[in-house]
C-alpha cells in the first residue's frame, strides 16, 4: 500500500514562498525524490520535469558527480568564513567562472541566491561610481516585467507590479524601461523577434529627464524568464549597451536563469554578443543542488574600488555563506558535468527541436502566442474573462496529472527542461501540453 507522506506531515507551520498556501494545503503536491529528468511524488508518481526544478537543475536532478562532490566536501570542510579567511574551493570556482565569463569580467563576488547576487551587483555599481568621485550616480533603471528577486534592491528595480505592492516606497531614484513584448508585432516569433529594438531608445528619454550624471546602472534580464520568456528583439540589447556606454552608465545583466547553457552558451551575454559590466547569476551555477549566487564584475570596477578605498576593507559587503564550501564544491562539479557532457552544445542542438515542438501547438485552443529562445519556451493562453491566470493554472494541474511538471506566470506556461533532455522528452512535454489544451475549458 502506498503511504501518502503528506497525510503524516503537519503542513501548517511552513509558510510557503510564492505559493497559494491555502489552496496548496488542501491539495498538497509533495516531491520526495528525483533523478535525471524525473521527479517522484510521495505517492509514487513519476513526473517529467520540464522546468528544471525552477530553472536551476540544468544538469538534471541528483547528478551522481554533483552528489558525490557535495558528500565529499561535507566530510572534509563543512564551513569556513570568507571574511579574512579563505578555503580553496571558492578561489578555484572564482577562477573558473572568470575563465568562462565574457572577456573582461574577471572578478567574482559570491552570494547565496539570485536575489543576493542582484543586490550585490547594484551595490557594487554604486560603490564603483562613489570610488570614482561620482557619488551623485545613484539612480537605477530596471524594466517593466523584469524580475530581479526579492531583496529591496531587486524588488525596486523589478517591474512586476504584484511583487512590489504593499512593500512601501522601496528604493528612491528608480525608473523603468518599457517591457519588450508586444503581441501585435511579435506573436509566434521564433527566437528573437524582429520588432522592438527601438524600445531601447526609451533609455535616452529617461536619461535625458533624469540627468545622465545621476544614473548608476541599468539592469535587465537578457531574456526575461519569470515574466514568461520575453525574448529580446534583434538589436535591442546592443542598443542598450551603446546608450549606457555613451552616458557612463553601467549595464548589469541579470543572468540568474539565462546562464549555464539555457541559451546554449555559458552566459546569454555570449549568445547575444553583448558584454555588460556586471553579470548576476545563480541557479544553474550549482545545477540547483546547493544555494549559490555570484556576481561577475569587469575587473576595472573592482580595481577602482580597491584603489580608492579609504579603509583596509575595500567593500563593506558580504555574506556569512559567501563562497560556502558545499556550494563551491557543487558548482565546480556542475561546471565539470556541463563540460564533460557537452551540455551547452547539447542545449544548442536541442533548441530547434523545442522550437518546432512548441510552435506545433500554435493551432491548439486558447493559444495566443508561442515564443522560444535556447532551451526555454512559452505558450501564452488567452485568459478566461475576469479570471487572469486561472486557465494556465488549470493547464498546469492537468499536465501534472498526466505526469509533466510545468510552470506558469499569469496565463503563460513556461517550458525549460534540463539540458540533459532528449528529443523524446521534449516530444512528450509538447504532446502532453497539446492534449491538455485540447480538453481545457
Ligand X SMILES: Cc1ncc(COP(=O)(O)O)c(C=O)c1O
Binder of ligand X out of 63, 87, 143, 148 (CB under 6 A): 148
Q: Which is nearer to ligand X, 158 or 233 (CB)?
A: 158
Binding span for ligand X by CB under 6 A among 112-120, 309-317, 365-373, 392-400: 112-120
If one asks whether residue 115 binds ligand X (CB under 6 A), the answer comes out as yes
- What's phi and psi for 298, nearest 5 deg? -55, 130
Binding span for ligand X by CB under 6 A among 22-30, 249-257, 382-390, 417-425: 249-257
Binding span for ligand X by CB under 6 A among 113-121, 202-210, 240-248, 294-302: 113-121
Cα 246 to chain centroid, rounded: 28
Q: Which is nearer to ligand X, 114 or 232 (CB)?
A: 114
If one asks whether residue 378 binds ligand X (CB under 6 A), the answer comes out as no
How far lies 436's CA from each of 84, 396, 411, in Å? Answer: 55, 9, 14
Residues 128-147 that bind ligand X (CB under 6 A): 147
Binder of ligand X out of 226, 287, 428, 432 (CB under 6 A): 226
If one asks whether residue 114 binds ligand X (CB under 6 A), the answer comes out as yes
Q: Are 32 and 62 in contact (CB under 8 A)?
A: no
Count of residues interacting with ligand X (CB under 6 A):
14
Q: Are 350 and 137 in contact (CB under 8 A)?
A: no
Binder of ligand X out of 118, 121, 347, 426 (CB under 6 A): 118
Return all residues near 432 (Cβ < 8 A) that are at least 6 apart: 399, 402, 403, 404
**Closest separation between CB of residue 114 and ligand X, Å?**
2
Binding span for ligand X by CB under 6 A among 250-258, 268-276, 304-312, 422-430: 250-258
Residues 278-297 that bind ligand X (CB under 6 A): 282
**What binding mask, one character per residue, do residues 88-107 give for ligand X by CB under 6 A, x or -?**
--------------------
If one asks whether residue 257 binds ligand X (CB under 6 A), the answer comes out as yes
Residue whose C-beta lies closest to ligand X: 114
Residues 183-202 that bind ligand X (CB under 6 A): none
Binding span for ligand X by CB under 6 A among 60-68, 205-213, 221-229, 318-326: 221-229
Binding span for ligand X by CB under 6 A among 108-116, 124-132, 339-347, 359-367: 108-116
If one asks whether residue 221 binds ligand X (CB under 6 A), the answer comes out as yes
Cell numbers found for residue 265: 552558451
If one asks whether residue 53 binds ligand X (CB under 6 A), the answer comes out as no
> Which positions touch ligand X (CB under 6 A)?
113-115, 118, 147-149, 221, 225-226, 254, 256-257, 282
Amino acid at each position: 500500500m502506498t503511504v501518502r507522506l503528506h497525510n503524516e506531515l503537519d503542513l501548517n507551520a511552513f509558510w510557503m514562498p510564492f505559493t497559494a498556501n491555502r489552496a496548496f494545503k488542501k491539495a498538497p503536491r509533495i516531491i520526495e525524490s528525483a533523478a535525471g529528468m524525473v521527479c517522484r511524488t510521495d505517492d509514487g508518481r513519476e513526473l517529467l520535469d520540464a522546468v528544471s526544478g525552477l530553472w536551476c537543475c540544468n544538469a538534471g536532478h541528483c547528478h551522481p558527480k554533483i552528489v558525490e562532490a557535495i558528500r565529499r566536501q561535507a566530510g572534509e570542510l563543512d564551513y569556513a568564513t570568507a571574511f579574512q579567511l579563505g578555503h580553496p574551493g571558492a578561489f578555484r570556482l572564482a577562477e573558473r567562472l572568470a575563465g568562462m565569463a565574457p572577456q573582461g569580467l574577471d572578478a567574482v563576488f559570491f552570494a547565496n541566491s539570485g536575489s543576493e547576487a542582484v543586490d550585490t551587483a547594484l551595490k557594487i555599481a554604486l560603490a564603483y561610481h562613489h570610488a570614482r568621485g561620482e557619488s551623485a550616480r545613484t539612480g537605477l533603471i530596471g524594466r517593466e516585467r523584469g524580475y530581479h528577486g526579492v531583496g529591496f534592491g531587486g524588488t525596486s528595480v523589478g517591474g512586476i507590479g504584484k511583487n512590489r505592492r504593499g512593500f512601501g516606497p522601496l528604493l528612491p531614484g528608480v525608473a523603468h524601461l518599457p517591457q519588450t513584448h508586444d503581441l501585435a508585432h511579435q506573436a509566434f516569433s521564433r527566437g528573437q523577434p524582429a520588432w522592438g529594438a527601438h524600445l531601447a531608445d526609451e533609455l535616452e528619454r529617461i536619461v535625458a529627464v533624469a540627468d545622465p550624471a545621476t544614473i548608476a546602472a541599468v539592469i535587465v534580464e537578457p531574456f526575461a524568464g519569470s515574466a514568461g520568456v520575453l525574448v529580446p528583439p534583434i538589436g535591442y540589447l546592443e542598443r542598450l549597451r551603446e546608450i549606457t556606454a555613451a552616458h557612463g552608465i553601467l549595464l548589469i545583466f541579470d543572468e540568474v536563469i539565462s546562464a549555464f547553457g539555457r541559451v546554449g552558451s555559458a552566459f546569454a551575454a555570449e549568445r547575444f554578443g553583448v558584454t555588460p559590466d556586471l553579470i548576476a547569476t545563480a541557479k544553474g551555477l550549482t545545477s540547483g543542488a546547493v544555494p549559490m549566487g555570484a556576481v561577475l564584475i569587469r575587473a576595472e570596477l573592482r580595481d577602482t574600488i580597491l584603489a580608492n578605498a579609504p579603509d583596509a576593507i575595500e567593500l563593506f559587503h558580504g555574506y556569512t555563506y559567501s563562497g560556502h564550501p558545499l556550494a563551491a564544491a557543487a558548482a565546480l562539479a556542475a561546471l565539470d558535468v556541463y563540460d564533460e557532457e557537452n551540455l551547452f552544445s547539447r542545449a544548442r542542438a536541442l533548441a530547434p527541436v523545442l522550437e518546432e515542438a512548441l510552435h506545433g501547438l500554435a493551432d491548439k485552443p486558447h493559444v495566443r502566442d508561442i515564443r522560444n529562445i535556447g532551451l526555454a519556451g512559452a505558450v501564452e493562453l488567452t485568459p478566461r474573462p475576469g479570471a487572469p491566470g486561472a486557465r494556465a493554472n488549470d493547464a498546469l494541474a492537468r499536465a501534472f496529472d498526466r505526469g509533466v511538471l510545468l510552470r506558469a506566470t499569469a496565463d503563460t506556461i513556461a517550458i525549460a527542461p534540463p539540458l540533459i533532455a532528449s528529443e523524446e522528452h521534449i516530444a512528450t512535454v509538447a504532446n502532453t501540453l497539446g492534449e491538455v489544451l485540447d480538453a481545457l475549458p
